[in-house]
Structure 1
Amino acid sequence: MKVITKYWFLEGFNLFKKLGILNMMKICEILEMDNIEKGKRIELKDEYKDSVFFLKRGSVKIVDSNSGTVKYIVKRGNVFGELALYDEEAAIEEVAYALENCVICYIESKQMESLIEKHKSLKNGLLKVYGLRIQKLERRLNDLLFKDSATRIKEFVSDYLEDFGEDDKTGKIIAKNLLSHKDIANLTNTSRQTVSNVMSNMRKEGVIDYNVEFISKNK
């Protein structure tokens, strides 16, 4: 893959903005690029072992390979697989699935470690990503203790639309409906049936609308 194409790929990532063009071009020389079809499993412990990923297009879900539960969702412009830098054993217990057609770049963790030693902004950026993951986990644990199932689901749906949605001309926020009710149940520590019931009630009350392709709400 041409270096200039990879440069286009990385250009939109906040993580690399402080590096400058010359440093980014050097990084592009060691990056690998791939297209991942919707539904494909991205093997974090086999084909792409010990790699850090940059998601240019699409979205993926990260799943615990032992329990099969969804841990978190990654949207375009973000990093995943960063656990390979901090905890190799934990990293191999994760697997990623493409929720839609994706374009990724990836780099071996040892090469990434070398880069973050040279560029402080990269190190700080990756630590921030890792920190945000921990914050979200802490929030889920806190919600489990102090909020009922319906509240957790409603807040998750609202957050999902804020993160993945886009404004349309009718005054609504619309997002692709990428998650199954089982996925949402995993992410909110509830049951699939509870998710179905709560979302159905939200639709009846006019809070949201959804079908197999999209989910939306008024601003």
Structure 2
Amino acid sequence: MVFPVSVRRPVPAEEQPADLRVCRLPGVYAPQADTGLLVEQVRREELRPGVRSLDLCTGTGIVAVAAALRGARATAVDISRAAIASSRLNALLHGCRIRALRGDLDGPVGRERFDLVTVNPPYVPSEDPRLPARGARRSWDAGSDGRLLLDRICARAPRLLTPSGVLLLVQSSLSGVAPTLDALGRAGLRARVVERRTEPFGPVMSARADWFAARGLVPPGTRTEQLVVIRASRS
């Protein structure tokens, strides 16, 4: 359903505030550097007013809001009820409109196609090989290699995009950038890294630093990760 709020004119990227205000309900992933990178890339994309955008694993919905402020007809999807409520609140806060749907990845949108698909999925490697069913870890844990959701997204991306559509995905180097590029290529998309940024480990990553090293994911003593934004399209 569409959250009924007033709709402002599309806001050019250069007129948007550097930091969007965020309302976050308890248990919802707090926007961090990865979210910021994705918002920055959305602002760089050439978006015509009225294009259809989809933000999967939306969390606070702030990436969907960034697209909506550019004039997109934005849809946001998350498996968390609190995340859906947060995304609606943030649309209200910024005076834009998004369609917020609860469900697993693209399940709620059926056979719809989009001009822009954005994703900041859970991608942190975990000792638990399964996805968490509940709790805060559901926002970041993604199996022993961090790819349980990344691989699903890569496989499903082509069916979500219009012929000229673009996928923007952010992830950590710890969950394998090359496997993502390869998977998108096998799915028929041309993919490349458009942004890289080295960030210090946060509390979750710091607590697992020794385990990451033992798994060979990082050299011993490493306390940083590289975040990347991948852009994929049919041509």
TM-score normalised to structure 2 length: 0.34
Greater fraction helix: 1
Question: Which has the greater radius of gyration?
Answer: 1
